[in-house]
Structure 1
Amino acid sequence: MARLEINRSGEMEVFVRVVEQEGFSAAARTLRMPPSAVSKLVARLGARFIHRNTRGFQLTSEGCVFYERSVQVLAELEAAERGVTSHDAPSGRVRVNSNVPYGTHVLLPQVVAFQARYPGIRLDIGLTDHMVDLLEDRADVAIRAGALKSSNLIARRLGETRKIIVGAPAYLKRMGTPKLVAVLEDRNPGDTVVFHSVFLEPAKHLPARIRAFLDYFGDVGMG
């Protein structure tokens, strides 16, 4: 039963590295494993594959067959993994309704980079500062700033910005122009405003295309 617990593909990879690197120590370095661990893994295969001597090792005839078959199996596994990754790449349309500031300064400038990373996803973006009903407007995600009202929707933080107050020439003429930075800070500390994405589905059941969008723009906002 213990044999069933062994990672057979891992054994094969170690065996192939030992053969191709022509030594246990060299294989251990490329695999970033202790040489003793490499020796133990190869030893589990049995002496019928490798004959070790003072000068190194030599493959037996069975070892040559096992090496060739291992190379083939590992190549097939890698191809299968690539195929699954390609098949599972997020795809489809993500309908986004964003407020104008976030859409103008964050969302739209990142569209090209986002599409390059996720070519299968098509963004359908609408910008408005009015509150929207996700179901009525058929939006997957809405992005808004500020405190969220109680809702049965699910929100995720995308980042934050600061609001500042600027003075028009007429105001400065009337109130005077501050001479010190401290005066500006006292008058205008700059409140932090948080951007949230709001969506309908529970976070753990989000479609891959929406999760990709939230992860990407969450990284942009937090960066």
Structure 2
Amino acid sequence: MVRIETNRSGEMEVFVRVVELGGFSPAARASRMTPSAVSKLIARLETRLGARLLNRSTRRFILTPEGCAFYERATRILADIEDAERAAGLGEQPAGRVRVSTSASYATHILAPALPAFLALHPGVTLDVVQTDTVVDLLAERMDVAIRAGPLKSSSLVARKLGETALTIVAAPSYLERCGEPRTIADLERHNRLGFGYVRAVDGWPLRDEGEVTVVPATGRVQVSDGEGLRQLALAGVGLARLAAFTIRADIAAGRLVPVLEHLNPGDREAFHAVYVGQGGPLPSRVRALLDFLAERGRMS
């Protein structure tokens, strides 16, 4: 019986191009194939795997759950092949694109100042930084690394801790001149308490009074989707905000923001982690290079 050899890595590469370029035609151009040849290759791949990878319509396609899983594994395998070839020929210099999901606060105050050093250290690596405070699905969004604040839920993700930060209620001097400074928990009822427009692990401001912690809802007239937006509103004198210390340290030193109710601060701290899909296998050198750099230069306090 004649055995037909299958170029599995070649099939994976074409499939990954279809997903990342958004269609058969652009993948065909990138692969120097015809669209019909790409379509037939994907059909053969699905037949061999015994699973549908793409749900197709006349104008677009959607990855099936099996397609998402195969895409994630295929990209890792192709990255490992690239790393192996680079290690053999070039001394394993990290290269390629790393997609990072991070909050605007971390990107502004920690990541951006450190990036020049990382890019100089790894000239072959390019970064695609997506700013959002929303917890994204790394596989569905095709992210290599996500920076997350707060307690981590149990999952298959691997985490590296980047430190932790205190939290402080602050206001602009202009707001305090207009509305007065709160001295007690009861005083907060007459203040505009700026908060986030999504549910957080602690959905409110914990304050300790006479040994007991009370969580005060941040139910002001403005809700925002990220911490940096909250900081900008506080700087503009819109209201009170409870913010991470690493984002407002310079503002407090310059007098742009003033801490309030510090005598009621319970001293809780928010942890930050870099999370990634590990699954026990080796990481691509480009991802490992970024994680090692963040562990050293991307920490906060």
For the aligned pair, the TM-score class normalised by the smaller chain equals: 0.5 to 0.7
Distance 1:97 1:166, change over 3 A: same
Residue identity opposite 1:172 in structure 2: E
Q: Does 1:130 align with 2:134?
A: yes
Distance 1:221 1:171, change over 3 A: farther
Residue identity opposite 1:102 in structure 2: Y
- 72, 81, 105: which one pairs with 2:109? 105
DSSP-derived class of the 2:181 partner: helix
Residue identity opposite 1:213 in structure 2: L
Residue identity opposite 1:188 in structure 2: N
Instruction: State the structure with more CA Rg.
Output: 1
What stretches of structure 1 move > 4 A for 4+ residues in a row?
A: 83-86, 173-176
Residue in structure 1 matched with residue 277 of structure 2 by the alignment = 200
Please state how far the C-alpha of 1:149 moved relative to its aligned partner.
1.0
Judge conservation of contact 1:156–1:198 (CA < 8 Å) in 2: yes
CA distance in 1, matches of 2:272, 2:103: 10
Residue identity opposite 2:105 in structure 1: P
Judge conservation of contact 1:140–1:199 (CA < 8 Å) in 2: yes
Distance 1:189 1:85, change over 3 A: farther
Residue in structure 2 matched with residue 161 of structure 1 by the alignment = 165
Distance 1:104 1:87, change over 3 A: same
Which TM-score applies when normalising by structure 1?
0.54
Number of residue equivalences: 135
Judge conservation of contact 1:165–1:190 (CA < 8 Å) in 2: no
- Deviations for 1:56-75, whole angstroms, at most 9, x for unmatched residues? xxxxxxxxxxxxxxxxxxxx
CA distance in 2, matches of 1:158, 1:174: 34
* Larger fraction in helix: 1
Residue in structure 2 matched with residue 172 of structure 1 by the alignment = 181
Structure 2: give runs of 5+ residues left out of the alignment: 1-86, 188-259
CA distance in 2, matches of 1:192, 1:173: 22
- Deviations for 1:33-60, whole angstroms, at most 9, x for unmatched residues? xxxxxxxxxxxxxxxxxxxxxxxxxxxx
Distance 1:196 1:174, change over 3 A: closer
Judge conservation of contact 2:169–2:261 (CA < 8 Å) in 1: no
Judge conservation of contact 1:146–1:193 (CA < 8 Å) in 2: yes
- 204, 209, 219: which one pairs with 2:286? 209
Residue identity opposite 1:218 in structure 2: A
DSSP-derived class of the 1:136 partner: coil
Please state how far the C-alpha of 1:107 moved relative to its aligned partner.
0.9
Distance 1:97 1:151, change over 3 A: same
Q: Return the structure number with greater relative CO, CA threshold 8 A, min gap 6.
A: 2
Structure 1: give runs of 5+ residues left out of the alignment: 1-82, 177-182
CA distance in 2, matches of 1:127, 1:171: 34
Residue identity opposite 2:104 in structure 1: V
DSSP-derived class of the 2:275 partner: strand
Please state how far the C-alpha of 1:192 moved relative to its aligned partner.
1.6
Please state how far the C-alpha of 1:204 moved relative to its aligned partner.
5.7
In percent, how many aligned pairs have the same letter? 47
Q: Does 1:187 align with 2:264?
A: yes
Residue identity opposite 2:114 in structure 1: Q
Which TM-score applies when normalising by structure 2?
0.41
Please state how far the C-alpha of 1:95 moved relative to its aligned partner.
0.4
Judge conservation of contact 1:160–1:221 (CA < 8 Å) in 2: no
